[in-house]
Amino acid sequence: MPEPLSRRAFIGTAGAAAAAAALPGPAGAIEAPAIRRPVQNHFAAVSSGNGLRAVNRAFELVEAGTDTLDAAVEGVKIQELDPADNSVGYGGLPNEEGVVQLDASCMHGPTKRAGAVAALEGIKTPSEVARLVLKYTNHILLVGEGARRFALSYGFETENLLTPESRELWLRWRANRGTADDWLDVPESEKMTARPTGTINLNVVNAKGEISSVTTTSGLAWKIPGRAGDSPIVGAGQYTDNEVGAAGSTGRGESNIMVCGGFLTVEHMRRGMKPTDACLETLKRVVAATPPRLLDARRRPTFGLQFYAVNKRGELGAASLYPARYAAHDGREGALRDAAFLYESR
């Protein structure tokens, strides 16, 4: 019968066994493989409330193999070419001189490129022109007459963008600018159109995790000629980082520019926030940066602003200062959804 093992001998034996286990194995030994779980991406598209047709069109195109940027542009073109939508493209409401000036920008995540146009006149689809700037130049932003001539060089034709409806709305606004001018006021019984800030933003990610974004607008109605809002400003009206996600906005452009809202929302997602939470956090920054003249008695903004976001995994969301709806396609269906918001009512 073997002698009992002393405590000192036991500890020494155990230590030797542990040391032996730590030594490299014989040549050719195979270590157990590490398990890496890939991030599961899936298609998603998120847009402003007027973009239900846009997200559905983007889904159809991406499913057929179309690049995310091309799908996004084709999506927003539906609104740009729709004369019944007087906030973008053809039929957009003009500046104070009755001239329609359009803005747009886009980003393509896989190639890390961007393109934009501002104060573009006579071209119905500024999103297409912005994409041409992205694809064929080393520039990012073209403006005014230079942007128009650039578009003409690619075969676009100058057209009158005012529809009878948008012209009539402008004429009514001009007649009611002030009581001391030489224009007769429209009778109180006739409905006046509020000063809209309509825009369409669309952010798309495919199953490969490739992301693109585009924003297009006719800008603030009756604006000072030459005014550009956030839509043509990369980092404000929209922004894409192919490693993180994309975000864009609609609403009062000047307030968004002051916080670089598209970029900031993507940065919130980079830090781990879900898309909706990221949009809400950016809105809080907007409120904090708003001057007193644009706040009501309860310290709430007197304007509207919305953000829309999607991350690389295909999670999406939106948030607004006040209750609003947005369009989204999660890869199964496109639908209007209620956005998160900061304040119950304006």
Query: Which tens digits make up the pLDDT trace of 109-156?
Result: 999 999 999 999 999 999 999 999 999 999 999 999 999 999 999 999
CA atoms within 13 A on the CB side of 97: 7
pLDDT of the residue at 12: 52
- DSSP secondary structure, 294-330, as one string: GB-TTS-BSS-EEEEEEETTS-EEEEESSS-EEEEE-
CA distances from 188 to 185, 192, 225 (A): 8, 9, 28
Average pLDDT (289-306) is 96
CATH number of 44-341: 3.60.20.30
Q: What is the pLDDT of residues 255-264, one digit of tens each?
A: 999 999 999 9
- Decide if 225 contacts 95 (C-beta within 8 A): yes
Q: Per the residue annotation, which of 125, 197, 199, 216 is the catalytic one?
A: 199
pLDDT of the residue at 38: 57
Lowest mean per-residue pLDDT among 28-32, 46-50, 206-210: 28-32
Per-residue three-class SS string for 163-225: CHHHHHHHHHHHHCCCCCCCCCCCCCCCCCCCCCCCEEEEEEECCCCCEEEEEEECCCCCCCC
pLDDT of the residue at 220: 93
Cβ neighbors of 343 (< 8 A, separation 6 or more) are 300, 321, 322
Tokens of 77: 């073109």
Q: Is the pLDDT of residue 39 over 70?
A: no
CA–centroid distance for 290 within its chain: 21
**Higher local confidence (pLDDT), 53 or 40:** 53
Which residue shows structure tokens 């297409």? Answer: 128
Q: Is the pLDDT of residue 65 over 50?
A: yes
State the pairing for strand pair 316-320/340-341: parallel
Q: Is 282 a catalytic residue?
A: no
Q: What is the pLDDT of residues 183-210, one digit of tens each?
A: 555 555 555 455 555 799 999 999 999 9
Overall pTM surpassing 0.75 (yes/no) = yes
Q: Is the pLDDT of residue 103 over 50?
A: yes
Q: Is the pLDDT of residue 10 over 50?
A: no
Tokens of 43: 């298609």
d(CA 248, CA 240): 9
Tokens of 70: 């091309």
Per-residue three-class SS string for 44-89: EEEEECCCHHHHHHHHHHHHCCCCHHHHHHHHHHHHHCCCCCCCCC
Average pLDDT (59-74) is 98
**pLDDT category, 174, cuts 50, 70, 90?**
confident
**pLDDT category, 176, cuts 50, 70, 90?**
confident
